[in-house]
Structures are given as C-alpha cells and as structure tokens.
Amino acid sequence: SDKESPKVVVLKPLLHGAKPIVSFSLHGAPVRLLAHLGCTDICFSADKDGGLELWGIHTGRRVSKVSHPEQIEFEFKAETHLFDLQRRFKRSTAS
C-alpha cells in the first residue's frame, strides 16, 4: 500500500521482480494493515482512520455474498461487526 494515499497495488511475484495485477483505492486514508484470508481470493484491509474493507485480490472490488456466495454471508458491511468498529472509529491493530 502507498504510505501517503489510500492506493493499494496487488503484485504477482516473478523470478526477476513483480508484475502489478490490480491497483485500487477503496479506503479514505492510507492503508496500514493487509491480511489475506486463507485459501480464498479475499483480502482484509484497515486504514489509519479506522476504515475497514474486504476485497477481491484479482479485482480490487468489495466482496459480498453476491460476488463470493461460498465465502461471504453478508451483502453489506452494515450487517457485520466491521461496520460497528468503523462507526466507532476504533483503530485496527496487528500483533
């Protein structure tokens, strides 16, 4: 992620460098935490202002039960605890 902007670039590692797969800006502030969700093509990210997103690695778009019915059980973030965390401006931390 870009240190000064909300831009995220997903790279495919190559033998001699890396190739960008997708670039996007879903957040309103610079991203500080990225976590890949196991054997899925989904990533979780948190920005410095408490914004939280779930997105597809290959598309850079938000995921939902429509786009990922086998992995996601909600349509909108407002249906989850992610919305409550973001609304209360809690900061995400990683250990």
Output the tens digit of pLDDT for each of the chain's 95 residues: 888 898 988 888 888 889 888 888 988 899 998 999 888 889 999 888 888 888 888 888 888 878 887 887 777 777 777 767 766 765 555 54
Backbone dihedral region for residue 2 (phi beyond 0: left; psi -120 to 50: alpha; all else: beta): beta
Give the pLDDT of residue 30: 93
Give the pLDDT of residue 95: 43
Cα dist from 73 to 1, 64, 66, 78, whole Å: 27, 7, 9, 12
Question: What is the reported pTM?
Answer: 0.74
